[in-house]
Chain A
């Protein structure tokens, strides 16, 4: 068969035209509903950024409400009700971390009304169980929809699996490796210098000679979630939070990092003061690092009493209405203070 240049030209043209038409049709008809379903935070951002001075970005801590709560407001709604002269809206998605917030923040239009951004800083998200979480795969797929490329390209990345696609068993293997070999280095005597060795010795014997297994399981969760030291050189979350700082500077947005309250009381009573030491040390490191970078830090780590946590059998940042109110008040206080200072300057 003879192949002419004309032949190739018309065939290439047909392909290019099909892609162009597909893009147009997709963007006009399918993109909005698909974004609402698959990339909800970006969907919300596209509207919120034109009607809000402040955006509050977080994970499930913002929307989790205890069935017993009379006040059903989310943290961001409580904050919005406690600030004056400014409007704030919250966007959240379960299990999101700084790496997921990053592309959303990149999408904030510099011409928009948003001049302040509150980002939740979940201490557990710096630890191995979250970094090597089995849900990372689906998060990364969602991330495709937040990329700042053409919507059709983003869609094809998600459909064809063109994203960081860690296998759940490989993730688990890495996590277990860290539990066994990542040593905790402190300047006081510590009996157990790895998560594994620590979990191995924590026991809750009962008078009948058996063990209080639920309590032991919970203590294990606490150790796995909090017994780590943030390595600022290599921790992936640090890199993501650093990038968020850079982006906000470039977009001229005042950034707030909201260190979420953890159940320090339970950590202390279940495992002991050594675990609390690591929680506080990591908090102090983050406070210092990001204050120096111009971020306004809101420290809620020890603010929420143990009884205000909604779930007692797991390590979460899910608070009842009183817990949410404490966090919200602290965020609002920081926002109001900055607003007053700005007003004074003006």
Chain B
């Protein structure tokens, strides 16, 4: 009911009040999870708004730098406090021993172990990119606090991205939008495809994935292999589905959000994979960490360090767990091997298969709750001699996955709504009806939140 209501009100209101509606709707949307966390997003908005103004109004580089550091340290401080503090500090024996006798202090520390504001990693990175852009002169600061608050909290992409750049999103948000049939058509197409990918593909795969990763030693070895590949597709379908829904919802309001995926499992190298997977985050790390660190215009040793730090931090961005850190480190390792490997693979298909296998291998650490579980999955894969049970899966899930894969390859890098434009009405509607049918009858019956919501 939320989206139709906001949509209806948006086009009923005069242009000058629409920002307020979107802001209220976005805060309502965010507050629905936990109203207390609204304070964090508002704090982050005000800090970055003020810092960017100060950076822009000063000609003194030291002053500008000071404001930039203030913004970065407050944003990263919030992120650290809510996402990493408990894991790295609060849960340690030393801190627990210190606070244990003091109930209030203990509750305070434990609060950060339980409370993770939804989407904090996404909007923090988005606001940081704004101050950095203003600092580097790539963007002019927004003079209107309300408009800036809309940029930070824009509901279609607030909780799981794409992490938009100020220059790309803000102008669109401020533009006078008219009710447009083409936008509606594109928006609905993207949302339909998004729901199909999420509910029919991702949610149905979750049963296999959960069964394998929860008890990896229980099943016959080949089920562990199926489980690992299933997770590769589950996480793709889940996150890609979300991105499509976000793009579709924004498109209804005339806003184009960036593409976050471009057939990542057809990548022929790890370098290529990161150009196609979670594009908005990869670009963020490239522009605001890798390049400022010197990029590739440094010595070989320094470059290896830069790559390692970027990948490890991108792993850590996902959550406070050593498994994410290791996942990032593993990608760094693959990247470096690829770079320094003396032989280049000539066959594109072989390179694609190797890349997919490497990425899937790394996903094991991403999905597992801890190292022990990840190693148990590995052990399960190679434990050919051991017994184990058969997993009771639904074959139609894999059939649908195959269809989805073939369809993705067929549509190539054309966005779904653009792809539909090429087809005649009968073919288009056959696809829509098929997707609707699958959503209604074949989707998973258990409501599953999007995986990236927890980041």
Residue among B432, B440, B446 having the largest count of chain A Cβ atoms under 10 Å: B440
Tell me, yes or no, whether A47 is within 8 Å of chain B by CB: no
Tell me, yes or no, whether B69 is within 8 Å of chain A by CB: no
Closest CB in chain B relative to A105 CB, distance in Å = 23
Tell me, yes or no, whether B441 is within 8 Å of chain A by CB: yes
Considering the chains assembled together, what is the distance between the CA atoms of A326 and B11 in angstroms? Answer: 68
Query: Are B181 and A26 in touch, CB under 8 angstroms?
Result: no
Considering the chains assembled together, what is the distance between the CA atoms of A40 and B443 in angstroms? Answer: 20
Query: Are B447 and A159 in touch, CB under 8 angstroms?
Result: yes
Residue among A152, A158, A165 having the largest count of chain B Cβ atoms under 10 Å: A158
- Which A residues lie within 8 Å of B436 (CB)? 15, 18-19, 22
Checking A1, A34, A156, A161 against B181 with a beta-carbon cut-off of 8 angstroms, the contacting residue is: A1
Query: Are A14 and B445 in touch, CB under 8 angstroms?
Result: no
Query: Are A18 and B199 in touch, CB under 8 angstroms?
Result: no
Binary contact readout B109-121 vs A (1 if CB under 8 angstroms, 0 otherwise):
0000010000000
Number of residues on chain A facing chain B (CB within 8 A): 26
Q: Among residues 200 to 250 in chain A, which have CB atoms less than 8 Å away from a CB atom of chain B?
A: none
Q: Among residues 160 to 190 in chain A, which have CB atoms less than 8 Å away from a CB atom of chain B?
A: 160-161, 165, 169
Tell me, yes or no, whether B437 is within 8 Å of chain A by CB: yes
Given contacts A1-B182, A19-B436, A22-B436, contact A30 B447 (CB under 8 A): no
Considering the chains assembled together, what is the distance between the CA atoms of A234 and B380 in angstroms? Answer: 52
Binary contact readout A23-39 vs B (1 if CB under 8 angstroms, 0 otherwise):
10110001000100010
Considering the chains assembled together, what is the distance between the CA atoms of A1 and B425 in angstroms? Answer: 14
Considering the chains assembled together, what is the distance between the CA atoms of A169 and B114 in angstroms? Answer: 9
Closest CB in chain A relative to B448 CB, distance in Å = 9
Checking B181, B429, B437, B445 against A158 with a beta-carbon cut-off of 8 angstroms, the contacting residue is: B445
Considering the chains assembled together, what is the distance between the CA atoms of A191 and B176 in angstroms? Answer: 68
Tell me, yes or no, whether B433 is within 8 Å of chain A by CB: yes
Binary contact readout B442-455 vs A (1 if CB under 8 angstroms, 0 otherwise):
01111100000000
Closest CB in chain A relative to B316 CB, distance in Å = 24
Query: Are B114 and A30 in touch, CB under 8 angstroms?
Result: no
Tell me, yes or no, whether A3 is within 8 Å of chain B by CB: yes
- Which B residues lie within 8 Å of A17 (CB)? 433
A3 (CB) vs chain B CBs: closest residue: B181
Which secondary structure characterizes the binding site on chain B?
A: helix
Query: Are A25 and B441 in touch, CB under 8 angstroms?
Result: yes
Tell me, yes or no, whether A155 is within 8 Å of chain B by CB: yes
Checking A18, A23, A156, A159 against B446 with a beta-carbon cut-off of 8 angstroms, the contacting residue is: A159
Which secondary structure characterizes the binding site on chain A?
A: helix
Given contacts A1-B182, A19-B436, contact A159 B443 (CB under 8 A): yes
Q: Among residues 172 to 222 in chain B, which have CB atoms less than 8 Å away from a CB atom of chain A?
A: 181-182, 199, 203
Q: Among residues 130 to 161 in chain A, which have CB atoms less than 8 Å away from a CB atom of chain B?
A: 141, 152, 155-156, 158-161
- Which B residues lie within 8 Å of A285 (CB)? none
- Which A residues lie within 8 Å of B444 (CB)? 159
- Which B residues lie within 8 Å of A141 (CB)? 446-447
- Which A residues lie within 8 Å of B447 (CB)? 141, 158-161, 165
Given contacts A1-B181, A152-B440, A169-B114, contact A159 B433 (CB under 8 A): no
Query: Are A159 and B181 in touch, CB under 8 angstroms?
Result: no
Closest CB in chain B relative to A311 CB, distance in Å = 24
- Which B residues lie within 8 Å of A38 (CB)? 445
Tell me, yes or no, whether A21 is within 8 Å of chain B by CB: yes
Considering the chains assembled together, what is the distance between the CA atoms of A160 and B449 in angstroms? Answer: 10
Query: Are A22 and B443 in touch, CB under 8 angstroms?
Result: no
Closest CB in chain A relative to B421 CB, distance in Å = 11
Closest CB in chain B relative to A197 CB, distance in Å = 15
Q: Among residues 386 to 443 in chain B, which have CB atoms less than 8 Å away from a CB atom of chain A?
A: 429, 432-433, 436-437, 440-441, 443
Checking B203, B433, B440 against A26 with a beta-carbon cut-off of 8 angstroms, the contacting residue is: B440
Considering the chains assembled together, what is the distance between the CA atoms of A11 and B184 in angstroms? Answer: 14
Considering the chains assembled together, what is the distance between the CA atoms of A25 and B203 in angstroms? Answer: 21
Considering the chains assembled together, what is the distance between the CA atoms of A169 and B116 in angstroms? Answer: 12
Closest CB in chain A relative to B250 CB, distance in Å = 21
Query: Are A14 and B433 in touch, CB under 8 angstroms?
Result: yes
- Which A residues lie within 8 Å of B429 (CB)? 11, 14
A19 (CB) vs chain B CBs: closest residue: B440
- Which A residues lie within 8 Å of B437 (CB)? 18, 21-22, 25
Query: Are A159 and B441 in touch, CB under 8 angstroms?
Result: no
- Which B residues lie within 8 Å of A159 (CB)? 199, 203, 443-447
Considering the chains assembled together, what is the distance between the CA atoms of A159 and B444 in angstroms? Answer: 6
A165 (CB) vs chain B CBs: closest residue: B447
Considering the chains assembled together, what is the distance between the CA atoms of A233 and B440 in angstroms? Answer: 40
Considering the chains assembled together, what is the distance between the CA atoms of A62 and B115 in angstroms? Answer: 39
- Which A residues lie within 8 Å of B182 (CB)? 1
Closest CB in chain A relative to B159 CB, distance in Å = 15
Given contacts A34-B445, A38-B445, A160-B447, contact A18 B181 (CB under 8 A): no
Closest CB in chain B relative to A101 CB, distance in Å = 21
Closest CB in chain A relative to B411 CB, distance in Å = 21
Considering the chains assembled together, what is the distance between the CA atoms of A11 and B181 in angstroms? Answer: 14
- Which A residues lie within 8 Å of B445 (CB)? 34, 38, 155, 158-159
Closest CB in chain B relative to A35 CB, distance in Å = 11
- Which A residues lie within 8 Å of B441 (CB)? 22, 25-26, 30, 152
Closest CB in chain B relative to A139 CB, distance in Å = 13
Considering the chains assembled together, what is the distance between the CA atoms of A212 and B169 in angstroms? Answer: 63
Considering the chains assembled together, what is the distance between the CA atoms of A168 and B437 in angstroms? Answer: 33
Considering the chains assembled together, what is the distance between the CA atoms of A18 and B439 in angstroms? Answer: 11
Closest CB in chain B relative to A269 CB, distance in Å = 31
A154 (CB) vs chain B CBs: closest residue: B445
A18 (CB) vs chain B CBs: closest residue: B433
B440 (CB) vs chain A CBs: closest residue: A22
Considering the chains assembled together, what is the distance between the CA atoms of A161 and B450 in angstroms? Answer: 12
Q: Among residues 3 to 21 in chain A, which have CB atoms less than 8 Å away from a CB atom of chain B?
A: 3, 11, 14-15, 17-19, 21
Closest CB in chain B relative to A319 CB, distance in Å = 31
B114 (CB) vs chain A CBs: closest residue: A169
Closest CB in chain A relative to B197 CB, distance in Å = 14
Considering the chains assembled together, what is the distance between the CA atoms of A160 and B311 in angstroms? Answer: 35
- Which B residues lie within 8 Å of A15 (CB)? 433, 436
Considering the chains assembled together, what is the distance between the CA atoms of A3 and B185 in angstroms? Answer: 12
Can you list 19 residue pairs at the A/B interface with Cβ under 8 Å?
A1-B181, A15-B433, A18-B433, A18-B436, A22-B440, A22-B441, A25-B437, A26-B441, A34-B445, A38-B445, A141-B446, A152-B440, A152-B441, A159-B203, A159-B444, A159-B445, A159-B446, A160-B447, A165-B447
**Extra A-B contacts (13), CB below 8 Å, given A14-B433, A17-B433, A23-B440:** A1-B181, A3-B181, A18-B437, A19-B440, A21-B437, A25-B441, A34-B445, A38-B445, A158-B445, A158-B446, A159-B199, A159-B203, A165-B447
Closest 7 CB pairs of A and B: A161-B447, A22-B440, A18-B433, A26-B441, A18-B436, A158-B445, A22-B437
